[in-house]
Amino acid sequence: MHTDSWMGILPAREHIPVATPGPPVLDVVIPVHNEEKDIEGCVRRLHEHLVRTFPYDFRITVADNASTDRTPEIAARLAREVAEVSLFRLELKGRGRALRTVWGASDAPVLAYMDVDLSTDLNALFPLVAPLISGHSDLAVGTRLAGGSRVVRGPKREFISRAYNQILRRSLSARFSDAQCGFKAIRREVAQVLLPLVQDTNWFFDTEMLVVAERAGLRIHEVPVDWIDDPNSSVNIVRTATEDLKGVWRVGKALATGKIALHRLRRPFGDDPRDTELPGVPTGLARQLVGFCMVGALSTAFYLVLYSLFRLGMGAQAANALALLVSAVANTAANRRLTFGVRGREHALRHQAQGLLVFAVGLLLTSGSLAALDAAGGKTSHAAELTVLIVANLAATLVRFLLLRTWVFAQGSRGAHARTAPSSEPVSHDREPRHPLDETTPIVYRPLPHYYADAASPDGDAQHGRADDAAETSWTATARPRPDGHTARNTR
């Protein structure tokens, strides 16, 4: 069911209690499509490993997305034979679609997934989910490109993987090292808010999820893994690479234009240590200074280029005023978004108007410097003019930062928190207990609720998802009594 938590603020991270009644702590999803040769070995090996090493209750969910071979039949048999195994059937293809749908329907507080080939050593599974269980991190990813990782694969795949991750670093400023390793986990409350913002339903799903999470300030934990390439992988490298590049362009454009509702992924105000107010220590000053310097450097270069161009057809004062005006508008927009974190169109015109008043201060300083240079007498070279303008702009930059911080965007970051503050008590997601099924219970399918919609919210933020994803799905659940007399907690 579509609840307020999908649209609301993230709750504070808390440690997941041990040995409490309710759903299993971990739900490991294995997305499959026509994997009749590998599915049984994968599930049994994973189950044996979790029984032996994982100290919490768990569930293994086979997410079968539109298989046409014996994969559903084998998975259904495993669900009947193994208490901790469930089958989830989708009638539409797409790994991203399968993960988004199954994670969205799961009641486990920690959600994970891994590829059916089990290329990643399973000893990394507990280190992957431990930071999520403890409440330290929001997402966790396995990485094959960090120090400590041991990887066996051919040069072609190695080159493609490293090149792709370099593209992400250069184009989307991604700081995580490996976007495509099929070994990831996420806290359930984070998934509920994050997944509707992720549009891709195929292989780019992982990358888009990580980029959006990172831009929103969520904590991503990386785990170096041991990884052996599957030489029989059916992934079409060329087609996947093409789709990924299209996805990079789409996400980069959406981030640049503010179409992704990153503010929905904020924690409650005061939960983040950066919200702490100390006497004489402005909140976020260091980060704002870095952003302001980067924007200022680009704006100064832009201003000097414009001045040089305008100077070809007009006098120094006119060229300075026009160049400063154009660069000031761009500078205010960039600082609004990148330095002070103000998103959306609300108050944009007011901020630009205030920015123009700040521009007037800069104009006064630079024009006064040019006037003083002219008053000195003699013919002034273009290089001398630029030198004087650079010095004057440095002074104007300092004044500009102080005015932007204390006047124009004084309530920027707090306003973002205030706009996303919950207006009511948190919504409970407790589910009604289900009666356990016995060995003779037939496989049961039931439709999932339509909790995705393709629509735009009133504030203009795109809500991604597909109603037909939920419609074209079904769930299989079985449970057998364990030898100790208890019944698995993964029954539905």
**pLDDT digits 0-9 by tens, 329-388:** 888 888 888 787 777 777 788 888 888 888 787 778 877 887 887 777 666 677 777 787
∠476-115-66 over CA atoms, to 5°?
A: 45
Judged against a pLDDT cut of 50, whether residue 14 lies above it is answered with yes
Residue range 53-82: average pLDDT? 95
- Kindly list the distances between the CA atom of residue 6 and the CA atoms of 2, 111, 189, 216, 287, in Å, as whole numbers in the listed order: 7, 16, 9, 15, 29
* Window from 174-188, 304-318, 448-462 with minimum mean pLDDT: 448-462
Residue range 223-236: average pLDDT? 77
Distance (Å, whole) CA 399 – CA 386: 20
| pLDDT the model gives residue 7 | 43
CA–chain centroid gap for 1, Å, is 23
Alpha helices in 123-257 (DSSP H): 125-134, 155-172, 188-194, 205-215, 237-257
Specify the 3-state DSSP secondary structure of 253.
helix
Model confidence at 231, in pLDDT bands (50, 70, 90)?
low
Q: Which two tokens stand for residue 394?
A: 């440095």
* Contact (CB, 8 A) for 437 and 57: no
Distance (Å, whole) CA 109 – CA 25: 6
Q: Residue 304, CB half-sphere, CA atoms under 13 Å: how many? A: 17
| pLDDT the model gives residue 378 | 63
- pLDDT tens column, 26-48: 999 999 999 999 999 999 999 99
Q: What is the 3-state secondary structure (H, E, C) of 256-283?
A: HHCCCCHHHHCCCCCCCHHHCCECCECC
> Does pTM top 0.85 for this prediction?
no
* Window from 245-254, 276-285, 314-323 with minimum mean pLDDT: 276-285
Instruction: Fill in the DSSP letter of residue 370.
Output: H
Model confidence at 141, in pLDDT bands (50, 70, 90)?
very high
Distance (Å, whole) CA 466 – CA 88: 17
Residues 6+ apart with CB under 8 A from 79: 62, 85, 86, 87, 443, 476, 477, 478
Closest CA to 477 of 35, 62, 25, 20: 62
pLDDT over 70 percentage in the chain: 74
More confidently predicted of 172 and 289: 172
Distance (Å, whole) CA 171 – CA 233: 28
| pLDDT the model gives residue 86 | 95
| pLDDT the model gives residue 443 | 36
Residue range 419-434: average pLDDT? 37
Distance (Å, whole) CA 113 – CA 412: 37
